[in-house]
Amino acid sequence: MTSSAPAAVSASVLDLAPVVPVVVLEDAADAVPLARALVAGGLPAIEVTLRTAAALDAIRAIASEVPGAVVGAGTVLSPAHVTETVAAGARFLVSPGWTDALLDAMKASGVPFLPGVSTTSEVVALLERGITEMKFFPAEAAGGTAYLKALSAPLPQARFCPTGGVSLASAPSYLALPNVGCVGGSWMVPGDAVAAKDWARVERLAGEASALGRG
């Protein structure tokens, strides 16, 4: 990390907010107003996925222009992604899965990270490496709340951010589980609202998400 990069997140990513917006941006010019709307709605942790060419510029813009945001990088798939996103100002990293090389790079980055898991063996392998906070992906397809509830008894030390198919309606069921710290979702950043630059709608949806209880 360069000396000009933002300070690392001191608290757990899982505890920043009940919901982490998963953002896909085609135009980096939308990054700042979108992030400001999400922060105003009570969702400071923002995961910008590396699914578009605009992602790095979007992370850079949010990190430098939206002080209330804690911007992270999602869909981190390689050590190069780790280097590029942290240099751009990412303050946490999220991957859909992990390899030894990717895990080593994320651990060496100096910022919090959530490696993705979808099986018990993957969870145990991470616990063996001293990692207790993970992304559960794809949450709904991989077994949803029933699967996570089943994991909580034998593996209580593992905590998760379920992402993938989670909605405003299903999020409370996830958040009620003792091994879930937050959920990831994109329902508060619908594509039509972003295309129309309807930031007031994004802020309203973010407010609904941030108000979600835990049971």
Q: Is residue 132 within 8 Å of 157, Cβ to Cβ? A: yes
The pLDDT assigned to 9 comes to 61
In a structure prediction context, what are the per-residue pLDDT tens digits for the chain, which is 215 residues long? 233 344 456 558 888 889 999 999 999 999 999 999 999 999 999 999 999 999 999 999 999 999 999 999 999 999 999 999 999 999 999 999 999 999 999 999 999 999 999 999 999 999 999 999 999 999 999 999 999 999 999 999 999 999 999 999 999 999 999 999 999 999 999 999 999 999 999 999 999 999 995 34
Cα separation, 98 vs 110, whole angstroms: 17
Q: Is the pTM of this model over 0.85?
A: yes
The pLDDT assigned to 16 comes to 83
The residue type found at 118 is S
Q: What are phi and psi of 63, to 5 degrees?
A: -60, -35
Question: Tell me, what DSSP letter sits at residue 153?
Answer: T
The pLDDT assigned to 1 comes to 29
Q: What are phi and psi of 191, to 5 degrees?
A: -60, -35
The residue type found at 165 is G
Catalytic (active-site) positions: 47, 135
